[in-house]
Amino acid sequence: MDLSNILPFWEKLTAEQRQRLTGGAVSRTVKAGTLLHQGGADCLGLLAVSSGQLRAYILSDQGREVTLYRLFDRDICLFSASCLLRNIQFDVTIAAEKDTQLWVIPPDLYQSLMEESATVANYTNDIMASRFSEVMWLMEQIMWKSFDARLAAFLLEERLVEGSDRLPITHERIANHLGTAREVVTRMLRYFQQEGVVRLTRGAVELTDLEGLRRLENG
């Protein structure tokens, strides 16, 4: 793993700043299912993904989850460094969806880089704006889109993530992503199967009619 291949502002840093980053950042390899960050009281540091897949989600008082966004190769997560975001109260949980290699940059180190470098500060603002845009888009989907359209959109997105029409995912995991009950997902998937757009097997959903799913996604 090499930080220079992950951080887009690396070339704009001074030699001394690069040395501080290399000396302060910690490389980690985590297994799928590992909980990395939980809520605003946890200030782990900035996460830079080298390879793998992370999931950022919120958790209700009743234990229901909804995915905010996911992180893939060369993505950066700021919400794990909650102490950098003093004016933002946003309790996000971050977990590994797949075996993942990543760097953890301590919050005080990253804070000093933001104060010293306009490039790092601007990049951080861009990341924040992008993440909040994703969250706002998600809220619009929940508020205005029917569940069958949201489920179809999720399955099509998951197909791109997995690179396959066969998705190794349970109804429970889909429910966690979409912020609903497993029974609701099971009922809608059975309807999709009756319509011929998916085939359900144990622990997997096979997409059999992509155009049909796109029609459902578009209402």
CA distance 178 to 210: 20
Q: Is the pLDDT of residue 139 over 90?
A: no
Q: pTM of the entire structure?
A: 0.81
**What pLDDT does residue 87 have?**
60
Share of the chain above pLDDT 70, in %: 94
Domains 3-143 and 145-217 share a fold: no
What region, left, alpha or beta, does residue 15 occupy, with left being phi > 0 and alpha being psi -120 to 50 degrees?
A: alpha
Interval 39-81: pLDDT, tens: 766 678 899 999 999 999 988 878 788 999 999 999 998 877 7
Beta partners for residue 93, in sequence order: 38, 57
Per domain, the residue ranges of the chain are 3-143, 145-217
Three-state SS across 48-96? EEEEEEEEEEEECCCCCEEEEEEECCCCEECCCEHHHCCCCCCCCEEEE
Highest mean pLDDT of the ranges 35-39, 88-92, 133-137, 185-189? 185-189
Q: Is the pLDDT of residue 118 over 70?
A: yes
Question: What is the average per-residue pLDDT within 144-156?
Answer: 95
Fold of 3-143: Jelly Rolls (2.60.120)
Angle between helix 118-144 and 107-116 (nearest 10): 110
**What pLDDT does residue 128 have?**
86
**What pLDDT does residue 31 have?**
97
Highest mean pLDDT of the ranges 59-63, 128-132, 198-202? 198-202
Domain at 145-217, CATH from 3.30.450.40, 1.10.10.10, 3.20.20.80, 3.90.1150.10: 1.10.10.10
Question: What is the average per-residue pLDDT within 85-103?
Answer: 83
